[in-house]
Structure 1
Amino acid sequence: MNIQTNDIGHVIQLAIAPVFLLTGVATKLTVLTNRLARIIDRTRDLKLRLQQGPDRDIHEELDVLYQRWQLINYAITSSTACGFLICVIIACLFLGDTAGLPLDRYIAGMFVVAMIALIASFIFLLREVLVSFRYMRLHLHDPSGRSC
């Protein structure tokens, strides 16, 4: 098999866009793991406070934190799946070109699935942010409606 330099250059050009997308997904994973770390830290603090005695407000906040934790985990899973598919797409671009395999449809299909995973990840992140905002909004005011 004789691979021409210009063929490799063409494949590298094709792979550049997915590599930039992979960089964006990696950055998003960093944001998601930071949010997860904050949720875990807050949960630990609240569990320490619970050792002093039962508190309904702490249990309520722990329930919200558990919801947020689940949503962030779903977002991380979706983003990771997207990143994995992008890596497979890049590998298939090189494999298809160097081995002369017709992988066009597989690459297109994987790209669509990767985009669906990325969209799902954004939806889970948005849902987690909304749960957080809703909890904060409900607890910024006391029962009489005055700001704390």
Structure 2
Amino acid sequence: MREKQGTMPCPCGGADYAACCGRFIERGETPRTAEELMRSRYSAFTLKDDAYLKSSWHPRTRPAEAVAQDEGIKWLGLDVRRHVPAGDEATVEFIARYKVGGRAHRLHEVSRFVREDGRWFYVDGSFPEK
């Protein structure tokens, strides 16, 4: 199934999955910024790629259970609001839209990332009030 994704738009909003998030998820390239990692993690959620999600999650905060198993979620789109790099730390604020049981929802998160040995990791996130 994934082979077909190479000529399709990227789930994160990029024009081509293979040239966008596919290079990280499928080919093992390393995201250069926290925003690239965040976008690839969103794409991995849409593809239910638990292995990629766990490998990009910092070991200190990584959950033991599967994180990409919700079969009832249909991801609709991603809007990155801001990316704030600060050396080896960064935050990325985003809104991910999805449907569950035909009802639309929004996930608004400010994610924290750290870079260790040249590699970015997701640490955790907070959820701003409306």
- TM-score bracket, shorter-length normalisation: under 0.3
Structure number with the higher strand fraction is 2
- Answer with 1 or 2: which has the greater Rg: 1
Q: TM-score, normalised by structure 2?
A: 0.26
Q: TM-score, normalised by structure 1?
A: 0.23
